[in-house]
Amino acid sequence: MESTPLGFPPLTIAVFIILALGAMIIDMFSHKDDKPISLTKASVWSVFWVLLSLAFAGFLYVQHGPDTASLFITGYALEKVLSVDNLFVFMAIFAWFKVPNGLRHRVLYWGIIGAIVFRLIFVVIGSSLLSFGPWVEVVFALVVAWTAVMMLRSGGEEEEEEDYSQHMAYRFAQKLFPVWPKLYGHNFFVKREVLEEEIKKPEHEGLSLAAKGGIFATPLFLCLVVMEVSDVLFAFDSVPAVIAVSREPLIVYSAMLFAILGLRTMYFVLEALKAYLVHLEKSVIVLLFFIAFKLGLNATNHIFDHGYALDPNTSLVIVLVVLAIGIGASVLFPEKESAKES
């Protein structure tokens, strides 16, 4: 059977591309409205992505045997476990930018597209070129801890931000390119001529446009950039781990891609559960501190070889236990949160 430079025949590559692109297109067109995704819809999509991954594993089993299918399943499961941390950091980023629930699918969708591209780059260059990752992870651990503190201080408030002119991301980004300090629908960018009309409205009194620039980024784009950067930093852990499972580029990349695609809908399951489980937010904050600790511990172990690190299975158990505590507390003590709202 004819093989490609990736080590697999054209049929296998074609099936992988058709499954991945087809599913992403279906997902995009099935949720075009700027409305929150319900728990039911998010759960159905989560099951869909798992079944799609298993279908590709079944195809590999039939075409290339049980060993190849096993390598894919192992890499998929490992990437899934290592990507759980992303869920909670995504929640913190959305809370920091106070992005309305209806716009989060759009940000995550394009964030996932970016993650797919960056994962491909990382697989091509290999884990050997990610050796500077531990130093970056130390900084990232501090950032994650800081976002947890911000969420703790905000008390779980989710009101929409009206003016981002004092937001840290805005103040940094405006030095690099033109930025509009307010959300503009679900747009990532807005043309100057549109804003010249917008700025005449009474509610925009005091705002001005940068002297140069025909296109202005919105805070929604800044949120997307921050999310993309966080995913790249998480890749310093996950990419070398999955490459260690298999040296076949297609196996490594397909395992990562299917795991990442399913991660987005898992986020919405967790986000939807927050509406019913009033203490789940506290579990998320605790887990952010844990993720910061784990990143720092594992990164400094790579740097200083002190011998202390948390393996993925232990980390997953801790995550599940903390979430279970948050769910249990919500079931046993729902009146505490409701009393605060009244």
Measured CA to CA, the distance from residue 302 to residue 291 in angstroms comes to: 17
With both helix axes pointing from N to C terminus, report the angle between 10-30 and 104-125 in degrees, rounded to the nearest 10.
Answer: 160
Predicted pLDDT of residue 107: 92
Torsion of Cα atoms, 247 then 249 then 255 then 260, to 10°: 120
pLDDT in tens, 55-66: 999 999 999 999
Predicted pLDDT of residue 219: 93
Predicted pLDDT of residue 217: 93
Total number of domains in the chain: 1
Predicted pLDDT of residue 66: 92
Element (H, E) at 296: helix 280-304
Q: Which residue, 260, 293, 302, 298, is CA-closest to 79?
A: 260
Tokens for 172, please give them: 């940094």
Q: Which residues lie below 8 Å from residue 334, measured CB to CB, with a gap of 6+?
A: 278
Q: Residues of the chain whose pLDDT is less than 70?
A: 1-7, 32, 126-133, 154-162, 335-342
Measured CA to CA, the distance from residue 180 to residue 165 in angstroms comes to: 8
DSSP structural state of residue 127: G
DSSP E strand boundaries for 183-223 = 189-191, 215-217
| Residue 321 CB coordination number (10 Å) | 11
Q: Are 195 and 209 in contact (CB under 8 A)?
A: yes
Is residue 110 domain-resident? yes
Is residue 173 domain-resident? no
Is residue 205 domain-resident? no
Tokens for 191, please give them: 């043309």
Predicted pLDDT of residue 25: 84
Q: Which residue, 148, 86, 144, is CA-closest to 115?
A: 86
Q: Which residues lie below 8 Å from residue 152, measured CB to CB, with a gap of 6+?
A: 285
Is residue 336 domain-resident? yes
Is residue 296 domain-resident? yes
Measured CA to CA, the distance from residue 91 to residue 65 in angstroms comes to: 40
Over its C-alpha atoms, the chain yields an Rg (Å, rounded) of 21
With both helix axes pointing from N to C terminus, report the angle between 104-125 and 84-97 in degrees, rounded to the nearest 10.
Answer: 130
Is residue 185 domain-resident? no
Residue 238's domain comprises 10-161+218-341
Predicted pLDDT of residue 5: 52
pTM, two decimal places: 0.83
Is residue 112 domain-resident? yes
Is residue 257 domain-resident? yes
